[in-house]
Chains A and B, each alone.
Chain A
Amino acid sequence: MSMELLAQINKDFAALILLTSFGLLVQRRIYALLLLFAWQGLFLSISTAIVGFVAEAHHLYIASILTLLLKVILIPYVLHILIHRLQIYKEVENLTNIPLIMLIGIALVIFSYHLTLPIQELSTLMTRSTIAVALATVMLGLLMMITRRHAVTQVIGFLAMENGLFFAATSTTYGMPLVIELGVALDILIAAFIFGIFFFHIRTTFDSLDVEQMMKLKEED
């Protein structure tokens, strides 16, 4: 396969990652969110492997496998078990104003393209056109965390943001050094355990996973 074609395919995967980001933004069913998140991880993993092949950066294969294990298999599996244990399988979140959220999301994508312009001009890598998508994924994850009120969805937003960061590292520099990638993966793993514990704490203390109830701590006047 020619390099141009592979670069083209990589861009398609970037587009799919962005698409799943938008899907995450407006999907209201918890379990469907989980599946979308796993898909995003899968696209990310494949894209990383392609970049690794094209750039002959072999440490990216390890990063790709790590992503596959962590973000497509382990974390979604843990979340799946948690969702079953907590019996929130069928929970649907209230999400008003979906068109507005979409519009803000689109604005964020445009903003990301604007922000990464200097990087794209400087970069000589074949992945330079996907840098903006990576930043957009980070921003959309952030937007998701702001708009959602459910603990599980907030965590998925957080993880989607982490996906965007990983993607950013791959597209700007063909990945961070392996030590760093491993360290970051370890941190995410610990974070995954912590939010697992948290779900139970929140559930037992508040009777539901709606973080809207956690509004007690604020400044009194």
Chain B
Amino acid sequence: MILLILLGISLFSAIILAFVGDRKFAPEINILGSMATFVAGIALAWQVYLHGQIIAGGNFFFVDAFNVYLATLTSFVSMTTAIFSRRYMRWEMEHGKIGKKRMRFYHAMFQLFIFAMLLALLTNNVGVLWIAMELATLSTVLLVSLYRTPTAIEAAWKYFILCGVGIAQALFGTVLLYFAAERVLGQGGEALLWTNLSMVSDKLEPTILSLAFVFLMIGYGTKVGLVPLHNWLPDAHSEGPTPISAVLSGLLLNVALYALVRCKILVDGATGTHQSGYIMMGFGLLSILVAAFSLLRQKDIKRMFAYSSIEHMGIATFAFGLGGQIATFGALLHMLVHSLTKSAIFFTVGHASQMHETQEMDKIKGLFRGNPLVGWGLVFGVMAIVGMPPFGVFTSEFLILTATMKDAPLLTPLFLIGLGVAFAALFKRVAPMVSGPIPSIQKPLKATHVPVMLHLILVLILGLYMPKFLSQWFHAAVEKCMG
């Protein structure tokens, strides 16, 4: 029941906003819908906390420790993004960047996107998971091209084609998975249910599953933004409206990684080897290194932080591939703290680029004097994202680093080089943006500070203290991932 409410609210809000999304009160409806989704998310989390796991809707939904925290996180970040987007999008409209019609479209698609992600997270059916992932792509494609500038359309086209191709590979992988499952579980929808699959994973044909994993890895890996499948990501993040960059980076990548990890658990159960883990480690490490070095070359502020997202998704993928209790725990925590930090950074970046009416980093200056809260928000966000203590990212990266030193000591230097280069690159870029006198192009802006602060405080708390329910979930999820 609670699941239907949770999913229903966002779908219902999407339908309402499809009609009234251009009215004056539309942003408020958007916030209200997201808030209601968040409340339902909390209620769901509470139920999972009490009962351990929930299977509902005739086996259609399955919630356990692994996906419940991601679902709650998704509803939370979508709420704060909706709050942020109220003033941000109003400013864009007042400055003639988008018209009323596109505002309506934006609001409806935002809620549909949230719906698709929640469906992907909560479904028990591996096939529906694929459908929801595709729906999440489709609902954001036209949001990326919302401004209709040549570059925005190019970015959206790339996003559409590359993710379409990628996700098609994942469908082929799902077909193969069904082929293997059907031999054990028999024909029909039951054979694609995660709860059934995970029980018989050791009986599934290993050769088929390792073949399936290659396709699933390419497919969902494209959506995670892993190098060398990442080409769409920096473009889509830099050209779309900032609230969309925040949810793409903070949420969609997580959901795709979640899908990948779910598949990995099945494949590992079938093959009994660590082969899929090695593949993920390879992709992860490559992403960390390539993204870290690309950070140095960026001129566009949103593009730079998009590369930072690739780097962090690489870290989480690497850690999941590494396996082992500490690494998996670290990866789960990393997904959480990265999502909170990165969306906070995108909020401040959105403010900064509105103040200067450009996304070019060379032109953004004097944020401390112009708008201290935006400046400090950016500095603290960057401190958190590069993994400085006492923020939560430090904890997760430290856990992953320890696990690397223990299980794959030879990769530790590479991992550290990636982290170090990213650290240096981000600070080198951010320092000139916040300091110095106010440049002539800077205009005052009424910014929305609450979402940024809320996120950063949460990341700070997670770095200092881990609530019992969360560590309990993570431990349960680690058990699942270990098989």
For the complex, give the distance between the alpha carbons of A13 and B125 in Å: 32
Whether a CB of chain B sits under 8 angstroms from the CB of A180 is yes
Identify the stretch in B49-57, B140-148, B311-319 within 8 Å (CB) of chain A at 4 or more residues.
Answer: B140-148
C-alpha spacing A93/B338, complex, angstroms? 45
How far does the Cβ of B409 sit from chain A's closest Cβ, in whole Å?
A: 33
Q: Check B192 against A158 for contact (C-beta < 8 Å).
A: no
Give residues of chain B (118-175) contacting chain A, Cβ–Cβ below 8 Å.
125, 127-128, 130-131, 134-135, 138, 141-142, 145, 148-151, 153-158, 160-161, 164-165, 168, 171-172, 174-175
Q: Mark A134-146, 1 if CB is under 8 A from B, else 0.
A: 0100100010010
Contact A173 B155 (CB under 8 A): no
B182–A216 CB distance below 8 A: no
**What is the minimal beta-carbon distance from A186 to any residue of chain B, in angstroms?**
8
Q: A217–B353 Cα gap in the complex (Å)?
A: 19
CB distance from B115 to the nearest CB of A (A): 13
Chain A residues, CB < 8 A from B179: 119, 123, 172-173
Total A-B residue contacts, Cβ distance less than 8 Å: 132
A197-B142 contact, Cβ under 8 Å, with A118-B208, A151-B157, A217-B235: yes
Cβ of A169 under 8 Å from chain B: yes
Interface residues as binary, A70-113 with B (CB distance below 8 Å gives 1, 0 otherwise): 00000000000000000000000000000000000000000000
B92 at the A interface (CB under 8 A): no
**In the complex with contacts A122-B183, A165-B175, A214-B157, A194-B141 CB distance below 8 A:** yes
A134 to B100, CA, bound (A): 45
Interface flag for A69 (CB, 8 Å): no
Given contacts A172-B179, A173-B182, is CB(A202)–CB(B138) below 8 Å? no
A154 to B160, CA, bound (A): 11
Chain A residues positioned under 8 Å from B130 (CB to CB): 180, 184
Complex Cα spacing A163 to B238, Å: 33
Q: Kindly state whether residue B211 has any CB partner on chain A within 8 Å.
A: yes
A53 at the binding interface (Cβ < 8 Å): no
Given contacts A165-B171, A194-B141, contact A179 B128 (CB under 8 A): yes
Task: Judge if A221 is at the interface, Cβ distance under 8 Å.
Answer: yes
Q: For the complex, give the distance between the alpha carbons of A205 and B239 in Å.
A: 15
1/0 contact string of A152-187 vs chain B (CB within 8 Å)? 001000100110010011001110111110011011
Given contacts A142-B165, A168-B172, contact A217 B239 (CB under 8 A): yes
Complex interface bits, B415-456 against A, C-beta within 8 A gives 1, otherwise 0: 000000000000000000000000000000000000000000
Q: A122-B205, A165-B175, A168-B175 are in contact. Are A205 and B150 (CB under 8 A)?
A: yes
Q: How far is the CB of B10 from chain A (nearest CB, A)?
A: 17
A6 contacts B by Cβ under 8 Å: no
A183–B174 Cα distance when bound, in Å, is 14
Select which of A119, A138, A186, A202 is within 8 A of B168 by beta carbon.
A138
Chain A residues, CB < 8 A from B234: 217
Q: Which residues on the A side are within 8 Å of B192 (C-beta)?
A: 176-177, 180
- For A122, list chain B residues within 8 Å (CB): 183, 205, 207-208
Contact A180 B128, beta carbon cutoff 8 Å: yes
CA of A57 to CA of B188, assembled, Å: 11
A158 touches B164 (CB 8 A): yes
- Among A154, A176, A201, A206, point to the contact of B175 (Cβ < 8 A): A176
CB of B294 within 8 A of CB of A198, answer no
Contact partner of A221 among B138, B145, B171, B297, CB < 8 A?
B297
Enumerate chain A residues within 8 angstroms of B171, measured Cβ to Cβ: 165, 184
Q: Assess whether A35 is interfacial by the CB under 8 Å rule.
A: no
A191 to B140, CA, bound (A): 12
Q: Does B372 contact A (CB under 8 A)?
A: no
> When the two chains form their complex, are residues B168 and A194 in contact, meaning their CB atoms are under 8 A apart?
no
Q: Pick the contact of A162: B135, B154, B168, B176 (CB < 8 A).
A: B168
Given contacts A135-B172, A158-B164, 4 further A-B contacts (CB under 8 A): A142-B165, A151-B157, A177-B191, A205-B150
A-B contact pairs, 25 of them (CB 8 A): A118-B207, A119-B176, A119-B211, A138-B172, A142-B165, A158-B165, A165-B172, A172-B175, A176-B175, A179-B128, A179-B189, A180-B131, A180-B192, A186-B131, A187-B138, A198-B145, A201-B148, A201-B153, A202-B153, A206-B150, A214-B150, A214-B153, A217-B151, A220-B297, A220-B299
A positions within 8 Å CB-CB of B? 57, 115, 118-119, 122-123, 135, 138, 142, 145, 151, 154, 158, 161-162, 165, 168-169, 172-174, 176-180, 183-184, 186-187, 190-191, 194-195, 197-198, 201-202, 205-206, 211, 214-217, 219-221
The 4 tightest CB contacts between A and B, nearest first, are A180-B127, A183-B131, A214-B154, A177-B189
